Structures are given as structure tokens and as C-alpha cells.
Structure 1
Amino acid sequence: MTILASCHCGAIKFEISEPPSTVTACTCTFCTKRGALWAYYTPDQVKLSVTPEADAVYARNGMNKHHHCNVCGCGTFSQVPTWTNHKPDFENPRISVNVRLFDDFDISSLPVETIDGRNLW
């Protein structure tokens, strides 16, 4: 089941190869302010279609690259390492997608796992 998603104006779109089994609500200061629910995929599971002029990146710590649309302001996806035992694994990158942008998908049916990002990193 392919899932389609986009920012509000459609300048950033993505296709996901399968629905997530869970979503993550992170309590770090960035995720809390963004208000996103995240699903994590390997890069080959996400097909991105990004209008270059619309793509803006915020990378405060250099590890996580958080993308948002320069036109409508939606937080769209992030490029992050896999985290194992609270340590980054740069050899296994992931794409975290904002599940709130999924089209025609009932996100209320997914269990939400909360990560205490405010205190873990």
C-alpha cells in the first residue's frame, strides 16, 4: 500500500512504500515546537519529490537535517542517523516523515510511542 503525502502547497511531496506500524511523538524542544508525529523509514522506502526553491533545511546540531517548505511552512521530513542505545549510527541513515502530512490516511488508528528526547539527548 503506497501512501502519498505532501506539504500544504504541494511543493514537497513524498511516497511511502508501506504504512507505519507506530508513530513517534518526541519531547525534545524541536519536535515539541514543530508538533509533528514521526514515522521512520530507510531511504529506499521513501520517494521524495522536492521543488528545490521550496526546500529549506534546519540542522542545529549537524546530525539531523530537518526539512520544511519555504512556501507554506510545513515541517515535512528529516534525514537522521539510526539511534542505538542513545548513540547515532551514521552508517544506517533514516528518513523520518511527518505523518500529519499523509493524504487519505487515518493516523488516529496508529499507536503513538513517546520518546523522552528532552532528557535523552
Structure 2
Amino acid sequence: MSKTYFTKDHEWIRIEGGTATVGITDYAQEQLGDLVYVELPESGKSLAKGDTAVVVESVKAASDVYAPADGEVTEVNEALSSDPSLVNSAPMGDGWLWKMRITDESQLEGLMDEDAYKASIE
């Protein structure tokens, strides 16, 4: 069973077993516009909550994507290197950014569920 959380910075994190998949929300990709480049982290990189993990560049601006919790990068979405627009077309699907193993699950407690996130952007 998976559970998805949201941050105030418009990231989502989906927990499935011991793995967390992270990306940006549909709202975030709409605000950015068409993505032209995604700078992904190295696999094996340690991240602390709040660290810049990914930089996404659109025709409008560059924006940092932050780690929603402490952990280690286990996989990155290589498809984005050749097709960054996947983040625009499927931000919570094929446009995921990276997967990580979380080292402090208590950090998830401060994140929002989908209803709270939707209320925060209205």
C-alpha cells in the first residue's frame, strides 16, 4: 500500500514499502511552464530534509526541488534527461524525479495529505 504526502514547496513523496518516490505537483509544473531541463542528483547521494535535490528549468525560470525528508538517493528518472516534458505531462506519474530510502520517517509527520495540499493552493 502506498501513501502520498505533499510539501508546502509543491513536492510530493509517495511511500511504497521502504522506497520513497519524489516529484513536483501538477500545480508546480503549471506555475513553471514547459520544462526544458532537469538536473537530477547522483544515485547514492545523501540528502537532508530541505536540501536542494533537483533543479528544474523551464522557459520561464529555474526552480529548486527540495528533499522532503532525510535519505539516500537510490534511483533517478533517466528518461527526463532526454524528455523533461514528462514532468509537465505526468508530474505524479512518469514525470517522477528521484527515488530515495528515507532515514527518518518521523519527518513525514509534518507533511500534508492531498486534501490539505489542495486547500493550501486554492
TM-score (norm 1): 0.28
More helix by share: 2
More strand by share: 1
TM-score (norm 2): 0.28
